[in-house]
Amino acid sequence: MQEITFGLIVVGMLIAMRLLALHPGVRAAAGRGMRRLGERVVDWLRQEPEIDPLADDLAKALRREKLRADVRRLERLLATDESMSACRQLGNRIAYDWLLRELDKSNRDISQRLPGDSFADSWVDDWNIPEPAIVTRDFVRSQYAQRAPQVEILEIGRRR
């Protein structure tokens, strides 16, 4: 019995809405109301998420530390890659240059910020201690120096 009652209520509401929609004044009022409701929903959906400045500063600092660690690792690799193939040496240098550019860009982002943006400004500068230069000694043997040198051949095109 409840299903029948519910069905009659839904059908009655649909018929009433259709009859009211035929009247021009009701249609205009409903249109304005629906437009306002739609604008509110769109504004609510377009809201920018709030960004926590401390979390953002921490993420940037962690990224800089990871970049510095990667730069140090690649500097050690570049100091000992004379026995690697030319392709690997070139790849190492490209990666090193890219990391330096990324690190420079992240440091530039810090220097362009206005003082007082967040309380992290006072202690972020303490992290920018210059890295000590890597001192290369005479000949440093790497794991690749133990192998006999191999000639790499890059074949372009189809084999016949």
Query: Is 143 within a domain?
Result: no
What is the per-residue pLDDT across 122-133, written as a single tens digit (0 to 9) for each?
444 445 555 555
Task: Please give the residue range of the domain that contains residue 119.
Answer: 53-127
Residues 34 and 87 reside in one and the same domain: no
What phi-psi label fits residue 116: left (phi over 0), alpha (psi between -120 and 50 degrees) or beta? left
Residues 70 and 93 in one domain: yes
Domain count, the chain: 2
- Judgement on whether residues 13 and 71 belong to the same structural domain of the protein: no
Same domain as 20, residue 79: no
- Rounded Cα distance between 53 and 145, Å, is 48
**pTM for the predicted model, two decimal places:** 0.43
- In tens, the pLDDT along 86-142 reads 888 888 899 999 999 998 888 887 666 645 544 444 444 445 555 555 555 554 555
